[in-house]
Structure 1
């Protein structure tokens, strides 16, 4: 059993082509940051739309601060531009609820700061070696900053979902699912596979190192759970039946009077939702989104199933039963294209369950990448041999039972910030993120040869 060999798009590039690739990735991320913040006025940028989120202007300057610290100061060895704001934009220094009270850079000042930092970062890119240090090998630091900005872009997109007012973001509809019947479940054979990576140049520390895991046979849904299926759970009294919920989930549901996915509301003519300022009937064929881990777990119990473990999810997404190798993505090793997955905010909603047949795994599982983050039953922890890099605060300080792992990315995740090994994590109560789930179960007698 092995993962992708020590090769791939980045490792095959010359230094000149690698620099061009990095510049393109940085430019794409910045264009998205600009679009998300230019869509609203300065008052909206400064306002805190929810105590769960920072004001958009904080995210904007924080993006610049991280880029300055890692690319301009560390990789480039340049003099600090704004050391006076380091503490203001340190995410560990100030909880999100407290950030509006800080002396933050205003919108114009934040934008000017980002432009100055980017100019210097691109100059560093032209001159910095692409080897010699682990931080610069294959432009890792530039990849880390690209992913960081795209992650904050998704956070800002979630803030847009929480804001009140008329719609300001617009995008075309995602593709429809092809017609025809598809299996609802697939048997994933038991055995060992390679989980994680030691080969992916821009993989982050919690994805490393590659290691073999023995996963018993299991059955997995071929698509995420849809709004229509979830509505059956809701209308069937799922939120009122304690037996479907864990003790912690039931206490949270009761304490916060949770009776449906976030942004859903019941009208005389049925269930509706609000999506980026648009009110619309619940789309029954789309994957359900904005549900907590506790809600996903309760649904799975109601359905007589369970949530997959993280190892099960990754095996379904990466394992090729023909070659015995772990792929980079469900469809193979090539970078995501529009035909593979709903990524990058090209659309402002999940695609119908069963869409993107070109992106399915060898076993026929679809939409493992994109559309909705998928809750797993696994607590966030380091892999055997984990080593924090380049700083403990990226992953290690979050290890433990407080956080659950999510996999696969959402329609708001950029391709640079997701892959078959990428790991996200959050509190099991979180509902503002673009999270859904799919179910798994143990095989029944006779299902495994």
Structure 2
């Protein structure tokens, strides 16, 4: 088992690094060092940062090796330098950054060959530290993919289109009331904010069978949704005016309709694909316009994991096996969400589709710790973000790798953020006549 785990870890490390290479080698050095948006780091910062985290945790902490570049630790500390300021730092240039991450990876693989993965230390057990670094790099790969979306210029990324719809999906599904197990205490690479498993009692509710689509969202725009304060919270209405929101980010008028720019290509919107690049306030306003609301985080997870036939919570909507290409649109295999109905094999037992992949889904919940939360292995991973400033997103996007996406995985961001690959689905309370 230990050797199988070593092989698995090595494969996951290589998968992440191969994706990093695609994202950083697709552009020239000038693009690597340029800041494409004040919301994002230069790509070369992300590249060296993933190497620095790997050095800190795998080479120095786990392996007890001498530092490769202790002198750059502060430059790549995300808490010390806001993204908007990072271009002014004396960063490693592209050649230096590539050499640095290659040296660190060689040392990390040597540590992997030598460390005992069956010892009792929580950081080592089940290869957790390696899994944490795999997920960290994949998360930055998704961040770099978002930077590519904000980049001006000719297209540099390419991928086949997502599969077409295979089954009609419409309407909503009813999720029965009662307790379910939320979070996890057993998932080997689960992060601290996903732990521990605990029972949550959720009242019966209805949730959309699929994410809200471009076509549905276009009707909200056509009905004057952005101009009617009835649908917006006070904070949302203030932000809508301050940011001059009139449509999802990257949407542009195309005659009487809409097109959107995606990784340098402007094409008509796909009516049946999930809407993407909307902030929490936009999602909240649409839901109010539709006579519905956003689901809570607990409702979302119950819809995604609860199996009414057994009463247990699955790892994923379709079961416990890891995601395959038949289940979900993950891992940058495609560069857009897939049409609703493209992944019937990934549906939940209750009939909800595409809960994993395609778009991160906003929930109404603030990012809070679970009962019994313990920060591990450092407070800055989750604990410093808890509170009302951040809203929880669930499910992953087409840019999220399977290694960083589970039925229990929690993402969070400011409610104004739109550069992320974010969408949503709606929920509602049941009427008394539906409860019988």
TM-score bucket (shorter structure) = over 0.9
Q: Give, in angstroms, the shift of residue 265 of structure 1.
A: 1.1
In the superposition, the TM-score normalised over structure 1's length comes to 0.96
Name the residue aligned to 2:20.
Answer: 33
Q: Does 1:233 align with 2:216?
A: no
- Structure-1 separation of matches of 2:320 and 2:254: 46
Q: In the TM superposition, what are the counterparts of 1:125-274 in structure 2 within 5 Å?
A: 125-130=112-117, 131-180=119-168, 182-274=169-261
- 1:446 offset after TM fit, Å? 1.6
Counterpart of 1:20 in 2: which secondary structure?
Answer: helix
TM-score normalised per structure 2: 0.99
Match of 1:161, SS state, is: helix
Q: Where do 1:269-288 residues align within 5 Å?
A: 269-288=256-275
Q: Is residue 348 of structure 2 the alignment partner of residue 361 of structure 1?
A: yes
Q: Which runs of 5+ in 1 are unaligned?
A: 1-13
Distance 2:313 2:172 in 1: 21
Contact 2:167 2:341 in 1 (8 A): no
Unaligned stretches of 5+ residues in structure 2: none
Alpha-carbon separation, structure 1, partners of 2:277 and 2:340: 16
What is the CA–CA distance in structure 1 between the aligned matches of 2:77 and 2:305, rounded to whole Å? Answer: 35
The SS at the match of 2:225 is coil
Aligned to 1:48: 35
Distance 1:105 1:196 in 2: 39
Corresponding position of 1:297: 284
* 1:341 Cα offset (Å): 0.2
Deviation at 1:354, TM superposition (A): 1.8
Please state how far the C-alpha of 1:179 moved relative to its aligned partner.
4.2
Are positions 1:118 and 2:105 aligned together?
yes
Tell me how large the CA RMSD over aligned residues is.
Answer: 0.7
Per-residue deviation at 1:269? 4.0
SS in 2 for 1:88: helix
Contact 2:254 2:268 in 1 (8 A): no
CA distance in 2, matches of 1:395, 1:132: 24
Report the Cα distance in structure 1 between the residues aligned to 2:120 and 2:170, rounded to whole angstroms: 50
Equivalent residues, number: 435
Provide, for residues 64-102 of structure 1, a one-character-per-residue CA deviation record: whole Å limited to 9, x for no partner: 000000000000000011000000000000000000000
Match of 1:7 in 2: none
Aligned-partner SS, 1:425: strand
Corresponding residue to 1:78 among 65, 76, 83? 65
SS at match of 1:341: coil
Corresponding residue number in structure 1 for 2:87: 100
CA–CA separation in structure 1 for the residues paired with 2:180 and 2:290:
28
Per-residue deviation, 1:183? 4.4
Which of structure 1's runs of 4+ aligned residues deviate more than 6 A? none
Q: Indicate the residue corresponding to 2:338 in structure 1.
A: 351
Identify which of 363, 373, 379 aligns with 1:392: 379
Partners of 1:412 and 1:391 in 2: CA distance = 26
Superposed displacement of residue 206, structure 1: 0.1
Indicate whether 1:444 and 2:426 are aligned: no
